[in-house]
Amino acid sequence: MFKKILCPVDFSEFTDEILSYAEIIAKRFDSELHLIHVIPNLSYFTPYESFLTPENLVAIERNIEGEVGKDFDKITKKLDFPFKRIIKTGVTSVEIIDYIKQQGIDLVVMGTHGRSGIEHILIGSVAEKVVRKSPCPVLTVRPKSKTF
């Protein structure tokens, strides 16, 4: 039923819990498990863009990708199941939806946590945007939810 499962990861304290849901479902349905992390585009956070050259931004993004790779290594050590690891740069919800469509993902397993307070009001929840725009079912996992 679910041939391809996508699990967006943000390396928060709840990542292991969410990842365990995705792994259990992937094992149950013998699915491909895709793990994605989206690095926010740095140009959104650089108020003095004129001081940063495109080469500097690329170098910074490569450094961040290296750190994300290390974070992936930490969380995937516990996985007892094959997976694909994807790192994208851009707007998180947009990149996730694009990946779902491009790869023909059948199910998304993601956390409901993330931004809070004023940041949530101004920017919105990634999970909320994915749920609204995803062409496939999205299983949202609240932190400290029931375990299998």
- Interatomic CA distance for residues 17 and 139, integer angstroms: 13
34 versus 76: the higher-pLDDT residue is: 34
Alpha-helical (H) ranges within 30-116 are 54-76, 92-103
Architecture of domain 4-141: 3-Layer(aba) Sandwich (3.40)
DSSP class of residue 23 equals: H
The answer on pLDDT for 98 being more than 90 is yes
Sort 78 into a burial class: Cβ within 10 Å, 0-12 / 13-18 / 19+: exposed
Sort 105 into a burial class: Cβ within 10 Å, 0-12 / 13-18 / 19+: buried
The answer on pLDDT for 120 being more than 50 is no
The answer on pLDDT for 99 being more than 90 is yes
Boundaries of every domain in the chain = 4-141
List pLDDT tens digits, range 37-46. Answer: 998 877 665 5
pTM of the entire predicted model: 0.84
Rounded average pLDDT over 51-68: 79
Rounded average pLDDT over 22-33: 96
pLDDT level of residue 57 (50, 70, 90 thresholds): confident
- Interatomic CA distance for residues 1 and 28, integer angstroms: 10
The answer on pLDDT for 122 being more than 50 is no
pLDDT level of residue 95 (50, 70, 90 thresholds): very high
- Interatomic CA distance for residues 50 and 136, integer angstroms: 41
90: left (phi over 0), alpha (psi -120 to 50) or beta: left
Asked if 103 and 34 count as a contact pair (C-beta separation under 8 A), the reply is yes
Rounded average pLDDT over 76-83: 88
Strand order, beta sheet including 138-141: 84-89, 32-39, 4-8, 107-111, 138-141
